[in-house]
Chain A
Amino acid sequence: MHTVRNETTLQEAHTITDRPQRSAALFLLDNAIVVALLVAVIVFSLASPHVFFSPTNLISILRFASLGGIMVACYTCAMIAGQLDLSTSQVGAFSGVVFALLFQVMRWPLPLAFIAALACAGTVGWFNGLLINRVGLPSLVTTLAVGTLVYGLSYLIVDGFGIASVMRLTRPPLRSLVNADLFGIPISIYLMFALYAVVYLLLNHTRFGAHLYAVGGNPQAARLNGIRVPQMISTVLVMTALAAGVATVLLAGRQLAVTPTTTVLASPLVAALFAGVSLSGGVGRIERTLIGVLFFSVLGIGLSILSLPPFVRFTVEGLAFLLALLTDSIRTHLEQR
C-alpha cells in the first residue's frame, strides 16, 4: 500500500513508465498551488489595480502570512511524517494565556515568560507524542482529545486567576519588540523566511529530513531500517506545538490581548494540504508550502479589499479544503496506478 513516495523515486518512476499524459497530470497537480497563486494575484490585481500592487499592500500580505506561515512550516514536517495535529489552535491559545499570566499578571521578564510559555506548548506536544506512541491511536483523534483538554486548561487559568476572559497585555517592551521593523519590513516576515530556509535545509540536506520522509512513507519499513519512529513522531509534534506557541505569542503581541480562543490559523492542515503535502504522509515540499501560505494570504487580503461579506471568505476556505482533498486523492490514485 504505502510506498516511499519522495520526489526522487517519483521522478524515476516517471522515466521508467513514461506515460506522458499521466506525468502531465501529475505535474499540474503538483504545481496546482503555483497556478492558484498566480490566478489569485491576477484576479485581485485586475479587480483593484491601484490598491493591490502598492508596497504597503504587499507588505501587509506578507505580514498577514507570516504568523500562519510559521505554524504551517512545522506542520508540513509533521504531515510529511504522517502525523496530523488538530490541537494547534488550542495549544497556541494555551501558551498565549500562560504567557499573558506570567508576563502581565506575575510581572516576569519578557524572555523568561516567553520561554516558559513555549515550554508549556512543547510539553503538550510531547504529551501528544506520548499518547500516539504508547497508546497507539491515530494522531487525529489523540490530538483532538488533547486539544479539548488544553482548551479547558486555558479557561481554568483564566477562571482561576479571576482575570477577564480577554487578557490585555500592556507592559511596555512587548509591543515595540514584536512590532519592530527592519528596513521598513516587520520582523515577523524575516522570521518566517528564516524558518522556511531552515526547514528547507532540514528536509532536503539532513539525515533527519530523509528519516521524516521515510517514517511518513512507510513506518514499518522505517522501523526495520533502524529509524527510531516514536522519537521522530514526538519530535514533529513538539515542533508543531512550539510553532503554534511562537505564532500565538507574536499575535498576542500584535493585538496586545489574548483569550482562550485566540487562533493564528484555524486550519494549518488546509494550507499544507493545498500546497500538495499529502494526508497519507511521506510527500510534501516546504517551498510549495510557502507558496500555499502566500496564496491564502493573498486570498484573505484580496477578499477583504473587495469588502465581500465575511461568510464568502468562510465558504471559499471550506471549498478550498474540499478541493485540496480531492486533488490529494486524485494524485494518490494516479501514483498508485
Chain B
Amino acid sequence: MREETSAPSVLRPPSTPGSPRVLDFLLENGLYVSTLILIAVFSVSIPVFFTLENAVNILSSAALKGIIAAGFTITLIAGLIDTSILGMAALSTVLTGVLFQQLGWPLWTTMLGVAAAALVMASLNDALVVRAKINSFVATTATSGVFLGVCLALTNGQTITITRPELQTVLLARPLGLPVAIWLMFAVYGAGYVLLNHTRLGSHLYATGANHNAARVNGVPVNRVTHIAFALCALAAALGTVLATARAGSSLLFGTQFLTFDLTEIFTAVLLGGASLFGGSGKIERNLVAVLFLTILANGLQLLQTGTGIWLVLKGAAFVAAIILDVVRQRRQ
C-alpha cells in the first residue's frame, strides 16, 4: 500500500524529481520554524514572556497535555483513534479524588488504583474494536460517554476538593528546580522514543498501523499490539490527569465538562507533530514541539489578554490546517 517513511525498517523513498524542495523543507521543519517565530514575536511584544518563570509555567502546562498526547500518538501510529481520552481522564481525576481524599488511601495505592482502572477502560475499548470490529473513533466516542456517566454516578456531579497534602507535596515538588510533571514528561517521551524506534513492539506498532492485514499475514500479533496501544494510551491519560489533579488541588470535572484540555487540542498537537490519521507514521519527539507550540500560543494570547474567541478560532484553524497538512504530507510520500 503506502510506503511509510517513519517506519524504522523502511528506507525513505527518494523525493520525486523536480519537486519543490521548499515545500518538502517546510513540511519537514515548518513546525520548528513557526515555534521559533512565535517565541520571537511574543518575546518582543510581551515583556514578561521571555522569563524563566514563564518558561517553567509553559513547560508545566505542556507537560500535562504532552503526556496525554504521547499516548494518543502511539494509538494513532497503530492506526487507532482513541477519542475516549477525555472520558478516561475524567474517570481518572474522579477516582483520584474518591480513593485519595474520600477513602484516604495512600498516594501509591491511589495511583495503582487509577492505573488499574485505566487498564480496565482500555480493555473495554479494545474489546469493541478487536472483537466487535467497530471503527475505533466511534467505539471510543461511545465508551467516553459511558466513562463520563460512571464519573457522574460516583460524584453526583460534585467537584472533590483535595485537602490531604501528600498528593501535592509529592507531585508538585521541584527536584533540581523543575516540577515533577516536567521530568515525567521527558521520561514519558524518552520511553516512547525508545519503544517506537528501538524495540520490536515499536516496529509492530508501525506495521499494524500502516497495513493491518499485511502485518497480520507477516506474523505481527495485531490484536495484542492493538491491546497494548490502547493500554499505553489509557495509562498516559491517567498519569497526565493525576498530575493535573494535583496541580489544581481538586478533581477536574465540572458537571460533564472536563476543562483542563479537550480532545481537539490533543488531536491538533498530534497531527501538527506529523502523526498521520491513516496510521503507520509519526515521530513522538515532534509531538513535544507541537504541544509546546500550542501551549506557547495559548500562553502568549493569555498574556496579551485577547478574548476567548480568538484563541478558539486559532485552535480550530490549527486543527483544520493540521488535517490538511496530514493529507499533503501523505500525498508527497
A311: shortest Cβ distance to chain B, in Å?
3
Instruction: Fill in one digit per residue for B298-324: 1 if any A CB lies within 8 Å of its CB, else 0.
Output: 000000000111111111110110111
Q: Which residues of chain B are within 8 angstroms of A328 by Cβ–Cβ distance?
A: 134
Task: Tell which of A144, A151, A314, A317 touches B312, judged by Cβ atoms closer than 8 Å.
Answer: A151
B255: shortest Cβ distance to chain A, in Å?
9
- Within 8 Å of chain A (Cβ to Cβ): is B145? yes
Task: Tell which of B134, B312, B320 touches A329, judged by Cβ atoms closer than 8 Å.
Answer: B134
B200: shortest Cβ distance to chain A, in Å?
30
Instruction: Fill in one digit per residue for A148-187: 1 if any B CB lies within 8 Å of its CB, else 0.
Output: 1111110111111000000000000000000000000000
Q: Which residues of chain A are within 8 angstroms of B322 by Cβ–Cβ distance?
A: 145
Known: A148-B319, A149-B317, A155-B308. 6 other contacts (CB 8 A): A147-B316, A148-B320, A160-B309, A279-B138, A315-B150, A325-B134
Segment of B55-63, B152-160, B221-229 engaged in the interface with chain A: B152-160
Q: A131-B320, A137-B277, A326-B132 are in contact. Are A148 and B315 (CB under 8 A)?
A: yes
B264 contacts A321, CB within 8 Å? no
B149 contacts A311, CB within 8 Å? yes
Q: Can you report 6 residue pairs joining A to B where beta carbons are below 8 Å apart?
A: A135-B327, A148-B315, A149-B313, A155-B307, A155-B313, A156-B310
Task: Identify whether the interface residues of B are mostly helix, strand, loop, or mixed.
Answer: helix
Q: A144-B264, A160-B309, A311-B156 are in contact. Are A152 and B146 (CB under 8 A)?
A: no
B327 contacts A136, CB within 8 Å? yes
- Within 8 Å of chain A (Cβ to Cβ): is B143? yes
A325 contacts B132, CB within 8 Å? yes
How far is it, in angstroms, between the C-alpha of A186 and the C-alpha of B82 when the chains are bound? 42
Q: Which residues of chain B are within 8 angstroms of A136 by Cβ–Cβ distance?
A: 327
Q: Which residues of chain B are within 8 angstroms of A148 by Cβ–Cβ distance?
A: 264, 312, 315-316, 319-320
A152 contacts B320, CB within 8 Å? no
A166: shortest Cβ distance to chain B, in Å?
15
B137 contacts A140, CB within 8 Å? yes
Task: Tell which of A157, A269, A319 touches B149, judged by Cβ atoms closer than 8 Å.
Answer: A319
- Within 8 Å of chain B (Cβ to Cβ): is A20? no
B296: shortest Cβ distance to chain A, in Å?
18
A262: shortest Cβ distance to chain B, in Å?
15
Task: Identify whether the interface residues of A are mostly helix, strand, loop, or mixed.
Answer: helix
- Within 8 Å of chain A (Cβ to Cβ): is B128? yes
B309 contacts A145, CB within 8 Å? no
Band of interface residues on B: 35 or more
Instruction: Fill in one digit per residue for B112-140: 1 if any A CB lies within 8 Å of its CB, else 0.
Output: 00000000000000001000111101110
Give the A-B contact count at a CB cut-off of 8 A: 134
- Within 8 Å of chain A (Cβ to Cβ): is B148? yes
A318 contacts B148, CB within 8 Å? yes
Q: Which residues of chain A are within 8 angstroms of B15 by Cβ–Cβ distance?
A: none
How far is it, in angstroms, between the C-alpha of A314 and the C-alpha of B149 when the chains are bound? 6
- Within 8 Å of chain B (Cβ to Cβ): is A337? no
Binding site for A on B (CB under 8 A): 81, 128, 132-135, 137-139, 141-143, 145-146, 148-150, 152-153, 156-157, 256, 264, 267, 277, 307-317, 319-320, 322-324, 326-327
How far is it, in angstroms, between the C-alpha of A140 and the C-alpha of B137 when the chains are bound? 8
How far is it, in angstroms, between the C-alpha of A317 and the C-alpha of B145 when the chains are bound? 8
Q: Which residues of chain A are within 8 angstroms of B128 by Cβ–Cβ distance?
A: 322, 325-326
Q: Which residues of chain A are within 8 angstroms of B146 by Cβ–Cβ distance?
A: 315, 318-319, 321-322
How far is it, in angstroms, between the C-alpha of A316 and the C-alpha of B311 when the chains are bound? 34
How far is it, in angstroms, between the C-alpha of A147 and the C-alpha of B323 when the chains are bound? 13
B247: shortest Cβ distance to chain A, in Å?
25
How far is it, in angstroms, between the C-alpha of A160 and the C-alpha of B310 when the chains are bound? 10
A85: shortest Cβ distance to chain B, in Å?
13
> Which 9 pairs, one residue from A and one from B, show the smallest C-beta to C-beta distance?
A149-B316, A315-B149, A152-B312, A311-B152, A152-B313, A156-B309, A318-B145, A159-B309, A159-B307
Contact residues, A296-329 vs B (CB, 8 A): 309-312, 314-319, 321-322, 325-326, 328-329
How far is it, in angstroms, between the C-alpha of A314 and the C-alpha of B128 when the chains are bound? 20
- Within 8 Å of chain B (Cβ to Cβ): is A138? yes
A155 contacts B148, CB within 8 Å? no
A109: shortest Cβ distance to chain B, in Å?
27
B125: shortest Cβ distance to chain A, in Å?
11
How far is it, in angstroms, between the C-alpha of A148 and the C-alpha of B256 when the chains are bound? 18
Q: Which residues of chain A are within 8 angstroms of B142 by Cβ–Cβ distance?
A: 318, 321-322, 325
A225: shortest Cβ distance to chain B, in Å?
26
Which residue, B133, B145, B310, B311, has most C-beta atoms of chain A within 10 A? Answer: B145
- Closest A residue to B87 by beta carbon equals A318
Q: Which residues of chain A are within 8 angstroms of B134 by Cβ–Cβ distance?
A: 279, 325-326, 328-329
Task: Tell which of B133, B156, B320 touches A309, judged by Cβ atoms closer than 8 Å.
Answer: B156
- Closest A residue to B262 by beta carbon equals A148
- Within 8 Å of chain B (Cβ to Cβ): is A333? yes
- Closest B residue to A315 by beta carbon equals B149
Q: A159-B307, A311-B149 are in contact. Are A137 and B313 (CB under 8 A)?
A: no
Q: A135-B323, A137-B323 are in contact. Are A155 and B309 (CB under 8 A)?
A: yes
B153 contacts A315, CB within 8 Å? yes
- Closest A residue to B151 by beta carbon equals A311
- Closest A residue to B320 by beta carbon equals A145
- Closest A residue to B135 by beta carbon equals A279
Q: Which residues of chain B are within 8 angstroms of A160 by Cβ–Cβ distance?
A: 307, 309
